[in-house]
Amino acid sequence: MACKKQTVPFSGTKEQEEALKKVISELKDIQGSLMPIMQKAQDIYGYLPIEVQTMISDETGIPLEKVYGVATFYSQFALQPKGKYKISVCLGTACYVKGSGNIFSKLEELLGITNGECTPDGKFSLDSCRCVGACGLAPVMMINGEVYGRLVPDDIPGILAKYN
């Protein structure tokens, strides 16, 4: 759940804050702009810690609890930072029937983390996702947008080694 204690101290820069303020001033008068603002904010900071949510609330005048409500409703918004290498394993139906569950277990075993977590060194984070749409290559995983398809669990150590 989203109430998980924050483990990484917030370290936003002045530039990031300025970028966020610029985005907000451009978008805030558009009807229903809270989500686009939050999406841009996540692009700037990589995640949406409470500090960033507070800035959004202050600048737009939208109550913080509304911002927090939206941040915790959608799975795309992260309250915790992601790893340098973001691994997402497709657990959509087409990949699942072709064994992506075993790929996921293998990653959990090798990285020592589970869904939604990040390794202590900040290197890898692991997420499951629903259908990246490369069903022809099932089972599929992505690392920072690069797609690896037709996987078997034995491929995983070699792929991770590329990033180590």
Partner 1 sequence: MYRSHVLVCGGTGCTSSGSPQIIERLKEEIERQGLTDEVAVIQTGCHGLCALGPIMIVYPDASFYSMVKVEDIPEIVSEHLLKGRVVTRLLYDETVTSAGVKALIDTDFYKKQHRVALRNCGVINPEVIDEYIGTGGYEALGKVLTEMTPDDVIQTLLDSGLRGRGGGGFPTGLKWKLAKQNDADQKYVCCNADEGDPGAFMDRSVLEGDPPVVLEAMAIAGYAIGANQGYIYVRAEYPIAVDRLKIAIEQAREYNLLGKDIFGTGFDFDIDLRLGAGAFVCGEETALMTSIEGKRGEPRPRPPFPAQKGLFGKPTILNNVETYANIPQIILNGAEWFASMGTEKSKGTKVFALGGKIHNTGLVEIPMGTTLREVIEEIGGGIPNGKRFKAAQTGGPSGGCIPAEHFDIPIDYDNLISIGSMMGSGGLIVMDEDDCMVDIAKFFLEFTVEESCGKCTPCRVGTRRMLEILTKITKGQATMEDLDKLEELCYYIKENSLCGLGQTAPNPVLSTLRYFRDEYEAHIKEKRCPAGVCKALLSYVIDRDKCRGCTLCARNCPAGAIIGSVKNPHVIDTEKCVKCGACMEKCKFGAITKK
User: Judged by CB, which is closer to partner 1: 118, or 134?
Assistant: 134
| 80 touches 4 (CB < 8 A) | yes
Candidates 87, 134, 151, 156: give the one binding partner 1 (CB under 8 A): 134
User: Judged by CB, which is closer to partner 1: 31, or 164?
Assistant: 31
Closest distance to partner 1 from the beta carbon of 12 (Å): 21
Confirm or reject binding of residue 159 to partner 1 (CB under 8 A).
no
User: Judged by CB, which is closer to partner 1: 11, or 115?
Assistant: 115
d(CA 104, CA 127): 9
146 SS3 class: strand
| 37 touches 70 (CB < 8 A) | no
d(CA 135, CA 154): 20
Closest distance to partner 1 from the beta carbon of 9 (Å): 25
| 136 touches 89 (CB < 8 A) | no
Restricting to residues 25-84, name those near partner 1 by CB under 8 A: 31-36, 38-39, 66, 69-70, 73-77
